Amino acid sequence: MTPELKEKIDQLVNSHKILVFMKGAKLMPQCGFSNNVVQILNTLGVPFETVDVLADEEIRQGIKEYSSWPTIPQVYINGEFVGGSDIVYQMYQDGDLQQMVEVALAS
């Protein structure tokens, strides 16, 4: 990964409380896993931003290296990598996601 790409991803991750790297946009997800994450965050009623990896091949590949996580979507809360669709769903089921989001938005 180039230093420029790492800096670009760092900037994206650190400038939003909740950020999802996904296929498509929050109003029009382009895959089921991305849609699941959007639906969960919408259910929580929290503000979040998305980055469409389909629109930027460099970010699409770079984010996988950045997080050492091979799949999309990827969720970041308060600059911290949380996981993909399955992990976010499990955290939502357990109540951990709501707690993490509340702490992030309060900070």
Question: What ranges do the domains of the chain cover?
Answer: 3-106
Per-residue pLDDT of 31-88, as tens digits, reads: 999 999 999 999 999 999 999 999 999 999 999 999 999 999 999 999 999 999 999 9
May I ask the CATH architecture of the domain 3-106? 3-Layer(aba) Sandwich (3.40)
Strands (E), the chain: 18-22, 24-25, 28-29, 49-52, 74-77, 80-83
Give this prediction's pTM: 0.95
2 DSSP assignment? -
